[in-house]
């Protein structure tokens, strides 16, 4: 395997986390407890063998270690390990909601921040503490965050300990970048990671798929007492939401998919498109940086890009050592760059990080890389990296390697970012073969689905939102002409109003709606 032909997909980075940077018991089989009352039947069409799962009653309790001053409560839902063989075992799904809820809520609004691997419970906590969801939504819905299967507080994927994760994410590969020695070093790290996941997670890995997670969402809809799913999904969460709509079109209520993925795009194209998009986002950032007084670069955008390329290469040769002994190499610096480019509000952090690295100080860059990797206080506060790999390895079919011509084309389009977003593919060593397919999603018969795309989004480029909205039989596209990843509550009243009018009132945005910042 030539590892240089493998492109890392970087869909991750929860929209909510970026914005926040600066016991189950049996009961009446057709009734669940919600808002202190009993709801009517919500189990139409559920197979008999699945009724024991759908018949659960939620036992709400105070959440453990909530990161919010607002009162929140949590519950655990039992789901089949494999929805196609429900007798094969069970997993836990953890959910959370605000304890102070609307007096007369319309129902539940499920939240997913993306990833795959980001925590919906953390999204809820972040939104309650720092904002990120409009007051109108909180006044009309039970806001429910959930951790998908394999993620965080639900039955999690487990791979490496802290030392092992540090080695996987931050160690400098042996040899010169692109050499056979470098390739073998990258390959060994990927194999070590995959082997650890297999050893510590076992058969769970086979069922960490978006299709299984979408079926989990229908279970959550039912046990929460909702006849239809109301859902706000960001980034990868748009793929999860679209997959739900394909599987359960009759249960679709009001879905908003912000920062959309195109489900038909193969994995290699996903990676290549993101490489080009982050290169363009870096150019946009530098154009803004050069207009200010604190920018560490001078001259043109091209000259600044050359300086960043030289900095990356110098860190390959001589990494900077951080206070805790970890090294900032070229790959870690690129992780820091990518992390900051998810939000225009984080550009000042990128300026500080690049200025520091140029002066021999890795502190700012390590902060951004740690933020992206979920590392805080010397430990990993989530399993987002493990879950991200698990979902991608099962969702994306195995593909052939890129040709030399394709590599040259990518290098021409993204001369700075391309080689730092490539490396060994963990999925080459995964314990189970992929079961997902890359194909269009139409969700025939579903209620209107609102798809939002941002023209300057580097993680989920705007063309993907256009494609998904066109594929969905009931898709409606909202365009945000701005920068950064995802658009709701990102500085456009037009976008915010469109989302809230649809979720609260059911008013579908006008076809072709284009929104501006402000």
Q: How many domains does the chain have?
A: 2
Contacts for 49-54 with beta carbons within 8 Å, 24 or more apart? 49/86, 49/87, 50/80, 50/83, 50/86, 52/26, 53/78, 53/79, 53/80, 53/86, 53/219, 54/219, 54/222, 54/223
Q: Are residues 149 and 248 in the same domain?
A: yes
Q: Are residues 296 and 358 in the same domain?
A: yes
Q: Are residues 131 and 258 in the same domain?
A: yes
DSSP codes of every residue in 128-167: HHH--S-HHHHHHSEEEEE--TBSTTSSB-----HHHHHH
235 is catalytic: yes
Q: Are residues 278 and 245 in the same domain?
A: no
Q: Are residues 363 and 296 in the same domain?
A: yes
Q: Which of 77, 90, 85 is nearest to 49 (CA)?
A: 85
CB 438 within 8 A of CB 397: yes
Q: Are residues 367 and 276 in the same domain?
A: yes
Alpha carbon distance 306, 191 (integer Å) = 34
Coil, strand or helix at 395: helix
Q: Which of 409, 429, 449 is the last residue before a domain boundary?
A: 429
Residue 17 lies in a domain: no
359 is catalytic: no
pLDDT in tens, 275-322: 999 999 999 999 999 999 999 999 999 999 999 999 999 999 999 999
Q: Are residues 359 and 448 in the same domain?
A: no
Q: What angle do CA 60, 63, 69 make, to 5 degrees?
A: 120
Coil, strand or helix at 320: strand
pLDDT in tens, 161-178: 999 999 999 999 999 998
Q: What are 232's two structure tokens?
A: 């706000």
Q: Are residues 253 and 353 in the same domain?
A: no
Exactly one of 185, 370, 485, 492 is catalytic; which is it? 485
* Domain around 410: 3-12+160-203+266-429
In sequence order, the 6+-apart residues with CB closer than 8 A to the CB of 345 are: 19, 22, 484
Exactly one of 235, 343, 384, 492 is catalytic; which is it? 235
CB half-sphere exposure, 289, CA atoms < 13 A: 30
pLDDT in tens, 437-487: 999 999 999 999 999 999 999 999 999 999 999 999 999 999 999 999 999
Least confident interval from 18-32, 359-373, 421-435: 18-32
Enter the pTM of the model.
0.91
Question: What single-letter DSSP state applies at residue 447?
Answer: P
Strand 252-258 with 320-321, pairing: unpaired
pLDDT in tens, 88-116: 999 999 999 998 887 789 999 999 999 99
Task: Give the pLDDT of residue 237.
Answer: 98
Q: What are 470's two structure tokens?
A: 């066109």
Coil, strand or helix at 21: coil
Residue 416 lies in a domain: yes
Coil, strand or helix at 240: helix
CB half-sphere exposure, 242, CA atoms < 13 A: 35
Residue 324 lies in a domain: yes
Residue 373 lies in a domain: yes
Residue 470 lies in a domain: yes
Alpha carbon distance 376, 131 (integer Å) = 22
Q: Which of 381, 411, 429 is the last residue before a domain boundary?
A: 429
Q: Which of 404, 429, 454 is the last residue before a domain boundary?
A: 429
CB 269 within 8 A of CB 253: no
Mean pLDDT of 173-189: 93
Q: Are residues 218 and 273 in the same domain?
A: no
370 is catalytic: no
In sequence order, the 6+-apart residues with CB closer than 8 A to the CB of 192 are: 160, 164, 168
β-strand partners of 150: 156
Exactly one of 226, 331, 457, 496 is catalytic; which is it? 457
């Amino acid at each position: 395997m030539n590892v240089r032909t493998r492109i890392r997909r970087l869909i991750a980075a929860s929209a909510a986390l970026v914005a926040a940077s600066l016991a189950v018991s049996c009961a009446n089989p057709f009734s669940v407890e919600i808002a202190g009352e009993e709801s009517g039947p919500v189990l139409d069409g559920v197979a008999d063998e699945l009724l024991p799962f759908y018949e659960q009653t939620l036992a709400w309790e105070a959440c453990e270690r909530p990161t919010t001053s607002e009162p929140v409560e949590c519950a655990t839902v039992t789901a089949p390990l494999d929805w196609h063989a429900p007798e094969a075992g069970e997993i836990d799904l953890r959910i959370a909601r605000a304890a102070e809820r609307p007096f007369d809520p319309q129902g539940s609004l499920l939240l997913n921040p993306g990833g795959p691997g980001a925590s919906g419970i953390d999204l809820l906590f972040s939104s309650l503490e720092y904002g990120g969801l409009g007051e109108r939504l909180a006044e009309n819905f039970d806001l429910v965050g959930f951790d998908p299967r394999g993620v965080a507080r639900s039955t999690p994927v487990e791979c490496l300990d802290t030392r092992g994760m540090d080695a996987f994410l931050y160690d400098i590969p042996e040899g010169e970048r692109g050499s056979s020695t470098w390739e073998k070093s990258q390959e060994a790290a990927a194999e070590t990671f995959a082997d650890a996941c297999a050893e510590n997670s076992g058969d769970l890995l086979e069922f960490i798929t978006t299709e299984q997670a979408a079926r989990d969402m229908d279970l959550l809809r039912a046990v929460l007492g909702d006849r239809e799913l109301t859902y706000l999904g960001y980034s990868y969460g748009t793929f999860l939401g679209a997959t739900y709509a394909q599987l359960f079109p009759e249960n679709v209520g009001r879905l908003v998919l912000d920062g959309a993925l195109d489900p038909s795009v193969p994995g290699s194209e996903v990676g290549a498109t993101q490489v080009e998009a982050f290169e363009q986002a870096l150019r946009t950032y530098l154009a803004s940086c050069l207009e200010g007084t604190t920018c560490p670069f001078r001259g043109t955008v091209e000259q600044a890009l050359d300086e960043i390329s030289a900095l990356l290469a110098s860190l390959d040769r001589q990494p900077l050592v951080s206070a805790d002994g970890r090294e900032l190499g070229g790959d870690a610096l690129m992780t820091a760059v990518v992390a900051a480019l998810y939000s225009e509000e984080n550009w000042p952090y990128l300026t500080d990080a690049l200025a520091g690295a140029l002066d021999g100080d890795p502190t700012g860059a390590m902060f951004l890389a740690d933020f992206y990797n979920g590392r805080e206080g010397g430990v990993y506060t989530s399993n987002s990296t493990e879950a991200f790999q698990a979902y991608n390895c099962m969702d994306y079919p195995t593909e052939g390697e890129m040709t030399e011509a394709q590599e040259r084309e990518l290098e021409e389009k993204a001369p700075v970012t391309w080689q730092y977003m490539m490396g060994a593919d963990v999925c080459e060593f995964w314990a189970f073969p992929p079961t997902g397919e890359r194909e269009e999603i139409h969700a025939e018969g579903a209620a209107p689905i609102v798809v939002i795309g941002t023209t300057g989004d580097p993680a989920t480029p705007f063309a993907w939102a256009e494609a998904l909205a066109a594929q969905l039989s009931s898709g409606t596209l909202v365009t945000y002409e701005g920068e950064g990843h995802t658009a709701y509550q990102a500085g456009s009243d037009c976008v915010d109003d469109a989302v809230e009018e649809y979720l609260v009132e059911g008013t579908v945005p006008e076809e072709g709606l284009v929104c501006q910042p402000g």
